[in-house]
Amino acid sequence: MSSKLIKATADYVKSTLTGESSGHDWWHVYRVWQMSKKLAKSEAEADLLVIELAALLHDIADWKFNNGTNEVGIEKAKILLKDFGVSEEIIENVCHIIDNVSFKGAKVKNYIATIEGKIVQDADRLDAIGAIGIARAFAYGGGMGREIYNPDIKPRMHASFEEYKNSKGTSINHFYEKLLLLKNMLNTKTAKKIAEKRHKFMKDYLVQFFKEWDGKI
């Protein structure tokens, strides 16, 4: 039952998100799914079924593309999982993760309450840093009409979700407003270890970027 359920869910997500160009596509979901399973191996008490379903459905209707609300994604997940005959308890756990997995501002509290949610959140955040994270940041920024960099626009540490989602900062600012913060916001030891090299890669990239920006190399 579990393997058929996971395959059916994956097929649905793939058919829905394939070709999406902002970095929130099927392959982002696939990477988060695979990383979630890897992280779960070090957390013996974690429910793998909840983890896989939440990883697959976490971006089924991202708030960034749905008027700043998670409700669309939660409702889609509920309908799908009910149609698949999933228990109410599992649906509730999965929807809690979908609702709370995303970064919502540098100073906004993390409300993930379960180990399953912490694992999926870590996997999602790992995909936001390193080489892939850099690529995704610029893909999203371009899609949203944001400048690559503007020295007159300074990074801001957003104190609320409203402030964060309404931000019009540049793609380079996004490194300082989110990406460089994620290493210290991870939940599991395994994710923290993986994040070290990815974090360093981003810092090295920014050094190179600003040297080129200033015409030093």
**pLDDT, tens digit, for every residue of 28-63?**
999 999 999 999 998 878 999 999 999 999 998 665
Torsions phi, psi of 216, nearest 5? -85, -20
In the chain, the domains with their CATH numbers are: 2-213 (1.10.3210.50)
Between 66 and 140, whose confidence is greater?
140
What is the pLDDT at residue 167? 86
For residue 100, pLDDT beyond 80: yes
Q: How many CB atoms lie within 10 A of CB 79?
A: 11
- pLDDT for 108-158, tens place per residue? 998 898 999 999 999 999 999 999 999 999 999 998 899 999 999 999 999
pTM exceeds 0.85: yes
- pLDDT for 76-98, tens place per residue? 999 999 999 999 999 999 999 99
What is the pLDDT at residue 7? 96
